[in-house]
Chain A
Amino acid sequence: MEKFTTLSSVAAFLREANIDTDKIIPARFLKTTTCSGLGVHAFDAMRYTADGAENPDFILNREPWRKAKILITYENLGCGSSREHAVWALLDFGIRCVIAPSFADIFFNNCFKNGILPIALPRNVCETLMHDAGTATSDTKVELTIDLVRQMVIRPNREEIPFEVDPFRKRLLLEGLDDIGQTLQHESRIIDYENRQRQEKPWLPSIYIH
């Protein structure tokens, strides 16, 4: 997993609430057995016309936002299906940070596991950031900076907006660590638990198929 420390980029934005993971990546693109290559299908229905051409009005097809590494939306981003493909598609497109007033639980977890930082900020702050982002042109560099170490979103006018992040997840992001190794440091406790469970719930069946 790629480390996340600071990030500066133009921000793309969608003035929509409840953007579901079917919208981020429709099921017909879930036939892949790898994590890569999904970026081209991100937001497929909004991004392409019926004949497969790019929809020139969609923000992720327009300069300078087509190179955005930050995406800002309204409430409940990533609701619906648990498909991690939604996060893989965003990542493959180039997104490393998503900002919204709120997130759906599974999507929020999936982001961290893939090195994408989800930041929850109040609606009015998201509006301000969207407004900033909207003033970018292909010539004027209007960038948002995310400083994970200091937990600050830095506006183009240098104003700093603090944000919250779970300290454990912050560390994993900063160091680019996967959490299986972390959990296995506690393996003796897992073994204790399993021994205790065998004692207390001897009736718990295993699945053997003959």
Chain B
Amino acid sequence: MGPRTLFDKIWDDHVVELLPNGTAILYIDRHFVHEVTSPQAFERLRLAGRKLRHPENTLAVVDHDVPTSDRTLPIEDPESRHQIEMLERNVREFGVPYFPLLSADQGIVHVVGPEQGISLPGMTIVCGDSHTSTHGAMGALAFGIGTSEVEHVMATQTILQRRPKNMRITVEGVPSSYVSAKDIVLAIIGHIGTAGGTGHVIEFAGSAIRGLDMAGRMTVCNMAIEAGARAGLVAPDETTFDYIRGRRFAPKGEDFEKAVAYWKTLVTDDGAHFDKEIILRVEDMSPTLTWGTSPETVLPITGFVPDPAHESDETRRAQMEHMLEYMGLKAGQPIAGTPIDVVFIGSCTNSRIEDLRVAAQVVKGRKVANGVRAMVVPGSGHIKQQAEQEGLSQIFVDAGFEWREAGCSMCLGMNPDRLTPKQRCASTSNRNFEGRQGPQGRTHLVSPAMAAAAAVQGCLTDVRELV
């Protein structure tokens, strides 16, 4: 066998059978299940008289449609209540491990998996959610699937997949202050576009990626899907092993040492082939945000809203004009200083303790600007508790932020946390699509530090001017 990429190694290790047409039956080590994309899969299993092949390799959690307000009160929305009850019935019937709503273990599925030591290097991990790419930060091959595929994994512990191509994005250098993982990944998406990674698995490499902590690597891999990639990956290293050691479901003692010995083989060999290769310098990156309704429409905070008149492609020009109108922005205006109505700190992209620490540092001793609604939604119950112990929650509450329970919340506007029409939001989430955070809502994707800065200034702000 010639030199192989990290992706090749994990893929080859999980091929159960290669079918004559080139499709592989790929073994799945971990399957995460949530309340929104699973009910139809459970129902069809039931109708077909099938069982879950390996419930002990499956974990269910409620996150997408749960309220993030007081959990001791009944859930007001009957449809949401029904969806949660349906999951609870299904996990009981099919014997699936489950983190219930009132447990501190509950949280956003892509935060919970790594936090509990359930997502490990070298694994194949799937979930009926596109941001499953997040777990790639562990050095796992992790990707989102549709509900029919959820059913297929439940019944067979495998998935039918064509082998994706290899892509490597190398980011070299040392970032200047307040250029975070979020800024790096936004800059990458701006560079390669929302279809730049389609059909590929992206390995993120280079000193700037190596220098990120696990939370940062998760932020980067989380948004690989926003570049169209099937998955994002970072090779596991000492940072990864240190993160995993001692976590609840991680291997312990001698098993851990054996696992590490295997995990250390999970690196791209010298001379391995990549179908696409991109090299970027982190010194060229600034605190970055989006101006339009696609994650590729990025600008440095010091930048100006682009002018469609300079776009030669007719379709793109029309799309830019439409975006400007939707976003209520004018071509050529500086993006900094644009007034905002809402700040959302949360989502599977940026709701980890590290994200909350950075945001709290900016907020400390300041107040949320008049007329701004600012909210922090931790990624899990454990993160919420830890932030409370560290005094972060007090900083947020003193400044006028809402301090909420864990869940997906305003990232996707499914539960009551939504923008009202034309409200402008600085959001640490991952998608700025039209209507994503609520009908006609206007989303600017930013890092936690930039979101915090926007909250206290009441407008999109260069966080570097505040610190």
Contact = CB atoms under 8 A, between A and B. Distances in A.
Contacts of A7: none
Contacts of A17: 315-316, 319
Contacts of B157: 190, 194
Interface string A40-52: 0000010000100
A27 B413 contact: yes
B40 A26 contact: no
Contacts of B97: 207-209
Contacts of A26: 413, 435, 439
A201 B262 contact: yes
Nearest to B160: A179
A180 B152 contact: yes
A202 to B, nearest CB: 7
A33 B56 contact: no
A83 interface: yes
Interface string A108-146: 011001100000000000000000000000000000000
Interface string B153-167: 001111010101000
A160 B57 CA distance: 49
Which bracket fits the contact residues of B?
35 or more
A186 interface: yes
Contacts of A15: 315
Given A22-B431, A190-B157, A208 B256 contact: no
A168 B118 CA distance: 34
A80 B37 contact: no
B80 interface: yes
Interface stretch (B20-28, B338-346, B365-373): B20-28
Contacts of A22: 412, 431, 433-436
A54 interface: no
B136 to A, nearest CB: 15
B304 interface: no
Given A31-B80, A33-B83, A179-B160, A104 B155 contact: no
Contact of B249 (A87, A109, A187, A207): A207
A166 B21 contact: yes
Contacts of B262: 201
Nearest to A187: B156
Which bracket fits the contact residues of A?
35 or more
B402 to A, nearest CB: 20
B129 interface: yes
Interface in B408-467: 412-414, 418, 421, 431, 433-436, 439-440
A180 B249 contact: no
Interface stretch (A62-70, A71-79, A149-157): A71-79
B76 interface: no
Given A22-B435, A190-B16, A193-B27, A179 B249 contact: no
Given A102-B195, A106-B130, A113-B148, A180 B80 contact: no
Given A31-B83, A104-B228, A205-B251, A184 B294 contact: no
A84 B433 contact: no
Interface string B7-43: 0000000001101010101010100000011011001
Interface in A155-210: 166-168, 178-180, 183-184, 186-187, 189-190, 192-194, 197, 201-209
B319 A35 contact: no
Interface in B41-59: 43, 48, 50, 56-59
A105 interface: yes
A23 B177 CA distance: 36
B321 interface: no
B135 interface: no
B33 to A, nearest CB: 12
B250 interface: yes
A41 to B, nearest CB: 12
Interface stretch (B139-147, B277-285, B379-387, B391-399): B139-147
A168 B144 contact: no
Given A15-B315, A180-B155, A167 B21 contact: yes
Contacts of B98: 209
A192 B117 CA distance: 27
Interface string B243-268: 00000011100011011001000000
A190 to B, nearest CB: 6
A190 B147 CA distance: 21
Which of A17, A180, A209: most chain B CB closer than 10 A? A180
A5 interface: no
A123 B284 CA distance: 34
22 contacts: A22-B434, A30-B65, A31-B77, A31-B82, A33-B82, A34-B39, A45-B440, A76-B195, A81-B412, A82-B146, A104-B198, A105-B230, A109-B149, A110-B147, A113-B149, A167-B21, A189-B16, A189-B17, A202-B255, A205-B250, A207-B57, A207-B118
Closest 7 CB pairs of A and B: A113-B148, A203-B255, A31-B79, A33-B39, A110-B146, A84-B146, A206-B56
Given A82-B129, A83-B36, 15 more contacts: A30-B36, A30-B64, A45-B434, A76-B228, A79-B195, A82-B130, A83-B37, A83-B146, A109-B145, A113-B146, A166-B162, A190-B27, A204-B120, A205-B117, A206-B57
